[in-house]
Structure 1
Amino acid sequence: MQIGANSLLQEMQSLSGEIPAGGINTQITRQVNNTSGSNFGELLSQAVGSVGELQANSASMASRLDMGDTSVTLSDTVIAREKASVAFEATVQVRNKFVEAYKQIMSMPV
């Protein structure tokens, strides 16, 4: 089953209306909606940067929890870690698709 980029974007936009304000997809939805006229390299760089921020936030929360900071709960730490994990896995999948596309282009006869 092939999933087109447009149908996936439409589905993400329709789902974003179902998530309460300040939900998980708020930042991602804003980035998707503000892509008109943007350079692909810049968008990719921003996406990788936000994955790095999620990972740094997760590590910070974990270390604060380990040190006994009472303002950080275990559930918040686990949620932050899962967000970082999902974002990283998505980034790896995008990279794999780029590598696959590159290999297909390079194997085309000229």
Structure 2
Amino acid sequence: MSAPAIQAALAQMQALSTQATGQTGAATLPADVAGEPNGGFAGELQASLGRINAMQQSANQQAMSFQSGDTDVALNDVMIDMQKASVAFDMGVQVRNRMVTAYKEIMGMQI
């Protein structure tokens, strides 16, 4: 696929995205200047990755607290939170794999 064809397809996708969201004017960026997501697919993906990261950090902190002898942290809570973080990470990896597959399919299309 040639560069002009890719640019034309990208411009068409951006126009359709803008039309679907009801926006006019220039296309929006995935994040504003402060780095916060502004909606759309990219924003949701970024927010999901942030939630996965927060779950992992929370589970690790809880495990460290349990290991240090904190009596307020129960083993069953640690195990459940670690499993939730693991499942969330696995889901994130699967989403990434599907996005890579979709990208490869799109790049292989003939116009």
CA drift of 1:39 comes to 1.6
Alignment partners' CA distance in 2, 1:89 and 1:80: 14
Aligned structure 1 segments of 4 or more residues deviating by more than 4 angstroms? none
Listed as ranges, the matches of 1:53-92 within 5 Å are 53-92=54-93
Q: TM-score, normalised by structure 1?
A: 0.65
Computing the radius of gyration from Cα coordinates, the structure with the larger value is 2
Paired position in structure 1 for 2:52: 51
What is the RMSD of the two structures over their aligned residues, measured on CA atoms? Answer: 1.2
Q: Report how many aligned residue pairs link the two structures.
A: 74
Gaps of 5+ in 1: 1-36
Bigger relative contact order, structure 1 or 2 (CA pairs below 8 A, ≥6 apart): 2
* CA shift digits 1:42-83 (9 cap, x unpaired): 111110000000000010011001100000010000000000
Q: Distance in 2 between matches of 1:79 and 1:90?
A: 16
TM value normalised by structure 2: 0.64
